[in-house]
Amino acid sequence: MRYLSLIIVLFVSSIWASDDADTFYRGVDLSYVNEMEDCGAAYYDSAGIPVDPYTFFADSGANLVRVRLWHTPTWTSYSTFEDVVRSLERAKVAGMNTLLDFHYSDTWADPNHQTIPAAWQAITDTDELADVLYEYTVTTLTDLDTLGLLPDMVQVGNEINTEILRPPDTPGYPIDWERNIVLLNHAIQAVRDVDPQIQVMIHIAQPDGVVWWLDQAIRLAPFDILGLSYYPAWSDYDLPRLGELIQTLSADYRVMIVETAYPWTLDYADNLPNLLWRDSLLPDYPATPQGQYHYLLDLTRIVSESGGVGVVYWEPAWVSTTCGTPWGTGSAWENATLFDFDGHALPAIGFFSADD
């Protein structure tokens, strides 16, 4: 069963594409909500009435929740398996689809950091590491299935522009594609073997390098969704050019903007520097609540009209609290959440229910 034929995989993929052809996802990454609430954060609708973030986003029109999973973090008690269970349970109660984001690391994975979990660092043989990766993925998903929490989508890695599962403090370039493909294909196969109806996502940071990456990954097993991060601060693509790229990619892939955000202010609620600043702004979209809203409306329209299948807002609830992060006390994102500094919902909440 572990080595299903390519024909079967492609057949099943065609069924998914048909079933989901009319679904446009408007999602939220709520990985921080449990921690923020434990730190005393409170959330309100625009009228000041307290809300549960999961229920609130679902009632506002969001139909997908994304949650991240670290392997064995020693620096936090969140984004662990137990925390993911808590999040998926809340998403299930709220009636939303779920996307599980395997970082395959003990900490944040991105193009500059794809650090192998400490538990696997002694493994140098690629085939042995691939087997461990496969078993971990299968075990995690099987345990979730036992709890009735099997996700609808699975990301095999987070922003995997560079080589995955690499030793600490290594650059990730040049990519050993033979090793990279073996590892990724084992992760994809693990998801398929647990349940072939789960949609598998490959996630690349920023549109700028995605064509090159796909051209290199020619022996990658079939997957179902190509997820892209899109943050204007770190991309040379404006919205029209992004639409052109999605239109091109959509000839071969179902494309989703699986991470995006936009600042609604350049002010601070704490002393921790914010990640999105003036260089995050696009012309015609000021750092105001309305500017944030119109950015999301226009981005979503462009993605939809270009053949994309969804837009996910990254960390809309990472508000400022007295709890700490690896970077200091507070939030590095409170000016890009979908709640103001008092926890009240901002106008951009309306993008979940707006017409394309």
Catalytic, out of 35, 163, 259, 315: 259
In terms of DSSP H, where are the helices of the chain? 6-19, 33-38, 53-60, 81-94, 126-146, 177-194, 210-216, 239-249, 289-305
Helix (H) or strand (E) holding 80: none
Burial of 249 per CB tally in 10 Å (0-12, 13-18, 19+): buried
β 25-29/64-69 pair status:
parallel
Per the annotation, the verdict on 259 as an active-site residue is: yes
Using CA atoms, how far residue 268 sits from 26, 136, 140, 290, 319, in Å, is 27, 40, 38, 18, 11
CA atoms within 13 A on the CB side of 281: 15
> CB within 8 A of 96, min separation 6: which ones?
54, 57, 58, 62, 63, 64, 65
DSSP sequence for 195-232? -TTSEEEEEEESGGGHHHHHHH-TTPPP-SEEEEEE-G
Question: Residue 235, Cα to own-chain centre: how many angstroms?
Answer: 17
- Is 256 in contact with 309 (CB distance < 8 Å)? yes
Per the annotation, the verdict on 35 as an active-site residue is: no
SS3 category, 320: coil
Catalytic, out of 35, 37, 89, 159: 159
Catalytically annotated residues: 159, 259
